[in-house]
Chain A
């Protein structure tokens, strides 16, 4: 598994460094386009989230305009962060990883630049569409057809590019990150086109729509964001630490069990609903089986970092990535528990689920994307991060923000769920239980937004090549034991 560091005997380390630098440089424009737009949508998504959250605290806020009503701002937030931020950040990271792991400079970058343009026009049209009343009210697929079509075109271009990259890869070992990326890039277009055709372009009867909707919704997390997040963690953790992944066989087991079980999870969002019992049961079983890939990956990552936890003190990349990888385990174990019918009956239809979604998409995926950006951008731009202090502020604001958000939504959701379960408690009382927690959620949202603004400032300064020229990476610690992390590593 040390293959990523291996090279034929004839290649000197100096030559290898130069080659890596050339590969990095070849990814510059596409990576900056996807990353830059991702950060823009992260800010827009945060503002929409804050507005939606404040509206639950104070429902009369800005209620005179239809385009700012809660039922539109909330899906606009979700789609801005899912497609505008997380997907674009994931694509940007994947492009760079593919070039690095295929050990070849990025080819056909025009395809990717075109894709980035289509993608962003699609997201913009989609968000404006939702706010202006064209939203479809199909969770995770709210974009009207004119927007989802643009995303599909963009994704088609990316898939063509990915196939070309794999064709021209340098022969040899295929690293675990590549399995995940290849899978994600095959799964997502299939997923997105099937769901859009059956729900939006040629909608089937309502009775079948719920199943397709949650097959899509859950697999977007499980077969799109999760593989990209894990591919990134599998690359960055060994890379920053300079040691190989603990076990090749655990990687294989984790990959195939995820592919098989995750894809069957979706119906646990419909427990008790108007569906055949076997369909729901199959998903509950598959959800519980997720224990295998989750624990396998957790052990594999933990054993890789073990003995090197002090590195979290100095490396921003590693701190964000390991935070994310740990939250992957947490989010997955929580997800498994929520699929068990006797617990689902409490958490279903409550803010507990919203907390869980943020633990997955934010504490796991978004944190790993931040880690990846801290690693990749200096290599692509050829400039180090201007300020360790800004990175430190970013980390603590978002780490405390997301921790607080998950805790308050979990507690508020449990109280709400227990109250809903008891028919002697009035419905209004179940709502009253949530109110103080929803207020605290708004506070946590402010922390996250502040963190995102700090990150956006840092990101802009890096692109402008602000600050002093540095020969060494920007690290947190000033302590003596920090290890050098050369730019071309």
Chain B
């Protein structure tokens, strides 16, 4: 092979084939979804995120949650995702139309979070878990997200947003733990994660 043009053209064409298949095809076919209106309930699916949850999506990215948590319920025959109760159906491309960046994930050091809002709908549970993960979930190696919380001196009454810590509570006497705006946003996003709504292309599997 002593002809430069042959090498350059070959290198160009082989790569172009994958660019067409794995980039152009997804661009035109997996990234042009619109939401579906459920005829029975009138719900828009997937539902739009609140402004706070949208901000929480960015906190999720900034904290790097994806390095331990996936957000995909795989097809039947691929693992125990459905049997573990991580969702009522496998997820499809439309489920992610409002996600950017998308948090599909490649690691399960922690459980899948596709539908964590359905499993744990309580905001207080999430705050407790983010602040003291090993207390809420014994054996967990999730780090504490203490940096998203403020230790504030109680002046007069305890503030309404302060989180109820479980023992051992090492907060100094007269102080309280209050979520920052970012913590509130992250929890709003986590609570919003519920993809058990119906979609025409994703029927629930028979039990």
Q: Which residues in A have some Cβ–Cβ distance to B below 8 Å? A: 55-56, 59-60, 63-66, 69-72, 74-75, 133-139, 166, 172-174, 179, 182-183, 186-187, 190, 194, 198-199, 203-213, 215, 219, 223, 252, 256, 259-260, 263-264, 266-267, 269-276, 279, 282-283, 341, 345, 348-350, 353-354, 420-423, 427-428, 430-432, 434-435
| A186 / chain B contacts, CB cutoff of 8 Å | 8, 11-12, 15
In the bound complex, do residue B27 and residue A70 qualify as a contact, i.e. CB atoms below 8 Å apart? no
Q: Which residues in B have some Cβ–Cβ distance to A below 8 Å? A: 1-2, 4, 7-8, 10-12, 14-15, 17-19, 21-23, 25-27, 29-33, 60-68, 70, 72, 74-75, 77-80, 83-84, 90-111, 133-134, 137-148
Q: A267-B22, A274-B91 are in contact. Are A135 and B61 (CB under 8 A)?
A: yes
Q: Give the contacting residue for B143; candidates A69, A198, A223, A259; CB below 8 A.
A: A69
| B146 / chain A contacts, CB cutoff of 8 Å | 63-64
Give Cα A288 to B33, complex, Å. 32
In the bound complex, do residue A211 and residue B22 qualify as a contact, i.e. CB atoms below 8 Å apart? yes
Most chain-A Cβ atoms within 10 A of its Cβ — which of B11, B66, B133?
B11
Give Cα A122 to B116, complex, Å. 36
Give Cα A118 to B14, complex, Å. 30
In the bound complex, do residue B142 and residue A345 qualify as a contact, i.e. CB atoms below 8 Å apart? no
Give Cα A75 to B61, complex, Å. 11
In the bound complex, do residue B106 and residue A349 qualify as a contact, i.e. CB atoms below 8 Å apart? yes
Give Cα A234 to B32, complex, Å. 45
In the bound complex, do residue B104 and residue A71 qualify as a contact, i.e. CB atoms below 8 Å apart? no
In the bound complex, do residue A139 and residue B106 qualify as a contact, i.e. CB atoms below 8 Å apart? yes
Give Cα A282 to B26, complex, Å. 14
A and B contact pairs by CB, cutoff 8 A, 26 listed: A55-B143, A60-B144, A69-B63, A69-B64, A70-B67, A71-B143, A134-B62, A135-B62, A137-B61, A166-B4, A186-B11, A205-B32, A205-B33, A207-B30, A209-B99, A209-B102, A212-B23, A212-B26, A219-B18, A259-B11, A264-B21, A272-B78, A273-B74, A276-B29, A276-B30, A420-B108
Q: A173-B2, A423-B83 are in contact. Are A275 and B15 (CB under 8 A)?
A: no
| B75 / chain A contacts, CB cutoff of 8 Å | 272-273
| A266 / chain B contacts, CB cutoff of 8 Å | 18, 22
Residue of A nearest to B76 (CB): A272
Across the A-B interface, the 6 shortest Cβ-Cβ residue pairs = A71-B64, A272-B78, A208-B31, A207-B93, A206-B96, A206-B99
| B110 / chain A contacts, CB cutoff of 8 Å | 431
Give Cα A337 to B190, complex, Å. 35
Give Cα A2 to B137, complex, Å. 64
In the bound complex, do residue A264 and residue B147 qualify as a contact, i.e. CB atoms below 8 Å apart? no
Give Cα A421 to B67, complex, Å. 20
| A139 / chain B contacts, CB cutoff of 8 Å | 66, 106
In the bound complex, do residue A423 and residue B30 qualify as a contact, i.e. CB atoms below 8 Å apart? no
In the bound complex, do residue A207 and residue B1 qualify as a contact, i.e. CB atoms below 8 Å apart? no
Smallest beta-carbon distance B107→chain A, Å: 6
In the bound complex, do residue A198 and residue B23 qualify as a contact, i.e. CB atoms below 8 Å apart? yes
| B30 / chain A contacts, CB cutoff of 8 Å | 205, 207-208, 211, 275-276
Residue of B nearest to A434 (CB): B109
Residue of B nearest to A427 (CB): B111
Residue of A nearest to B79 (CB): A345
Q: List 16 additional contacts besides A59-B144, A206-B99, A210-B96; criterion CB under 8 Å.
A: A135-B61, A137-B101, A194-B19, A198-B23, A198-B27, A203-B100, A256-B10, A263-B17, A273-B104, A274-B92, A276-B29, A345-B79, A354-B107, A420-B79, A430-B108, A431-B141
In the bound complex, do residue B63 and residue A72 qualify as a contact, i.e. CB atoms below 8 Å apart? yes
Smallest beta-carbon distance B189→chain A, Å: 13
| B77 / chain A contacts, CB cutoff of 8 Å | 272
In the bound complex, do residue A206 and residue B101 qualify as a contact, i.e. CB atoms below 8 Å apart? yes
Residue of A nearest to B18 (CB): A263
Residue of A nearest to B14 (CB): A259
In the bound complex, do residue B141 and residue A205 qualify as a contact, i.e. CB atoms below 8 Å apart? no
Residue of A nearest to B61 (CB): A137
Give Cα A208 to B67, complex, Å. 20
| B95 / chain A contacts, CB cutoff of 8 Å | 207, 274
In the bound complex, do residue A179 and residue B93 qualify as a contact, i.e. CB atoms below 8 Å apart? no
In the bound complex, do residue A71 and residue B65 qualify as a contact, i.e. CB atoms below 8 Å apart? yes
Q: A66-B147, A198-B27, A205-B100 are in contact. Are A72 and B64 (CB under 8 A)?
A: yes
Give Cα A485 to B142, complex, Å. 53
Most chain-A Cβ atoms within 10 A of its Cβ — which of B90, B97, B98, B147?
B147
Smallest beta-carbon distance A6→chain B, Å: 13
In the bound complex, do residue A207 and residue B97 qualify as a contact, i.e. CB atoms below 8 Å apart? yes
